[in-house]
């Protein structure tokens, strides 16, 4: 009898020990992003996390921190670089402060449409920029997406570039954006995203510019009257992993993370497509006055002089190479 009891105790002890080892083996990764869990960032991040858990048999899981819970995008990128945050799904707006070469994709009117932009980011140009992130202490896993940016404001409809003149517009902390927007006569006002809604509500700035998915997810229709579909800048996004995590992964797990990031990218882009298709009607329903037929040529002519400086900064050949991608 005592022998049987001993065997039961031994078996229970072994089971508890195995459970303890399994618990220790599980790593919970913190991932942050600026918008809500139901936004395009939330959709892409969720699919990425699900694929990570599935591909590693639960050895890696994620804890999500949406809605700028861990700070603005610049702060989160810096935290990933320092290793105090594991992952961020971020736009490229503030990324240029860490990886200057990335700012080439922020040039106004560089991309024709979504097909063109996605082909560039998924091709040699995009891969080269991901490689450059690694040289700056950031592991770019895959390009996700924020979308083409549009202007909103509380002063007047924007149909031509001159209509934007004199408007105080919140921008990201991005020199390329600000230099481009100045050619439209805009007064760029850099501001962290978590501060933006209150600034619009209080009239600290007249307006802002963001893709439709962000305008929807952030409820900007509550504090902005006019929306103009300017498509003035394509805004990529990227899943970035801390080197402190990457360097601990086996080769097999690294491939799991890369594949999961691609799946997250696909889901995020699909959500952008959905928001673009359905969001404008929703914003109208919420009371925004929408200008769909914007005089894009007036904006392109206005920004043309800035292209000389962009060519000096990034190389005319590099800009032409992006424009030539089919």
Q: Convert the pLDDT of each residue in 114-155 to its tens digit.
A: 999 999 999 999 999 999 999 999 999 999 999 999 999 999
Q: pLDDT above 70 covers what percent of the chain?
A: 93
- The angle, 0 to 180 degrees and rounded to 10, between the axes of the packed helices 306-314 and 316-324 is 100
* Cβ neighbours for 254, distance < 8 A, ≥ 6 positions apart: 246
Contact present, 178 and 105 (Cβ < 8 Å): no
Give the pLDDT of residue 25: 77
CA–CA separation, 239 vs 41, rounded Å?
10
Q: Worst-scoring range by mean pLDDT, 19-33, 222-236, 268-282, 306-320? A: 19-33
Average pLDDT over all residues of the chain? 93
Which among 105, 224, 107, 207 is positioned nearest to 165, based on CA atoms?
207
Is this model's pTM higher than 0.85 or not? yes
CA–CA separation, 207 vs 93, rounded Å?
17
7 — pLDDT class (breaks 50, 70, 90):
very low
Q: What is the residue whose two structure tokens read 């949406």?
A: 66
The domain ranges of the chain are: 24-324
Give the pLDDT of residue 71: 95
Give the pLDDT of residue 280: 95
| CATH superfamily label, 24-324 | Bacterial extracellular solute-binding protein, family 7 (3.40.190.170)
pLDDT at 21 over 50: no
CA–CA separation, 209 vs 195, rounded Å?
14
Q: Worst-scoring range by mean pLDDT, 10-24, 77-91, 124-138, 160-174? A: 10-24
CA–CA separation, 231 vs 221, rounded Å?
18
pLDDT at 51 over 90: yes
Which among 308, 246, 306, 220 is positioned nearest to 87, based on CA atoms?
246
Q: What is the DSSP string of 272-297?
A: HHHHHHHHHHHHHHTT-EEE-S--HH
- What value does the mean pLDDT take over residues 32-44? 97
170/20: higher pLDDT: 170
Q: Convert the pLDDT of each residue in 177-224 to its tens digit.
A: 999 999 999 999 999 999 999 999 999 999 999 999 999 999 999 999
- What value does the mean pLDDT take over residues 87-106? 96
- What value does the mean pLDDT take over residues 26-46? 97
Q: What is the DSSP string of 183-242?
A: TTT-EEEE--GGGHHHHHHHTSSSEEEEEHHHHHHTTGGGT--EEE-----EEEEEEEE-
5 — pLDDT class (breaks 50, 70, 90):
low
pLDDT at 18 over 50: no
CA–CA separation, 243 vs 258, rounded Å?
14
Q: Convert the pLDDT of each residue in 240-249 to its tens digit.
A: 999 999 999 9
Q: Convert the pLDDT of each residue in 65-83 to its tens digit.
A: 999 999 999 999 999 999 9
């Amino acid at each position: 009898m005592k022998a049987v009891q001993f065997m039961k105790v031994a078996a229970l002890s072994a089971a508890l020990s195995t459970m303890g080892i399994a618990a220790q083996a599980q790593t919970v990764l913190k991932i942050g992003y600026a918008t809500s869990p139901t936004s395009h960032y939330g959709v892409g991040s969720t699919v990425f996390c699900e694929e990570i858990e599935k591909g590693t048999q639960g050895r890696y899981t994620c804890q999500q921190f949406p809605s700028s819970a861990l700070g603005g995008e610049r702060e989160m990128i810096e935290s990933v670089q320092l290793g105090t945050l594991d992952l961020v799904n971020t736009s490229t707006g503030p990324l240029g402060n860490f990886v200057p070469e990335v700012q080439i994709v922020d040039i106004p009117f560089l991309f024709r449409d979504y097909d063109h932009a996605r082909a560039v980011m998924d091709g040699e140009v995009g891969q080269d920029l991901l490689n450059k992130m690694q040289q700056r202490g950031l592991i770019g896993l895959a390009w996700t997406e924020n979308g083409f940016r549009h202007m909103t404001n509380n002063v007047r409809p924007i149909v031509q570039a001159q209509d934007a003149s004199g408007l105080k517009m919140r921008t990201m902390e991005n020199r390329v954006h600000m230099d481009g927007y100045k050619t439209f006569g805009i007064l760029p006002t850099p501001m962290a995203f978590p501060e933006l809604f209150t600034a619009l509500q209080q009239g600290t700035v007249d307006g802002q510019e963001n893709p439709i998915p962000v305008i929807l997810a952030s409820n900007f229709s509550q504090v902005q009257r006019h929306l103009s579909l300017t498509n003035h800048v394509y805004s990529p996004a990227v899943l970035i992993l801390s080197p402190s995590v990457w360097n601990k992964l086996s080769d097999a797990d690294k491939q799991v993370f890369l594949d999961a990031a691609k799946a997250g990218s696909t889901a995020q882009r699909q959500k952008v497509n959905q928001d673009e298709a359905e969001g404008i009607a929703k914003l109208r329903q919420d009371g925004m006055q929408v200008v769909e037929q914007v005089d894009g040529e007036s904006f392109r002519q206005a920004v043309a002089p800035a292209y000389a400086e962009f060519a000096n900064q990034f190389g005319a050949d590099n800009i032409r190479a992006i424009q030539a991608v089919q």
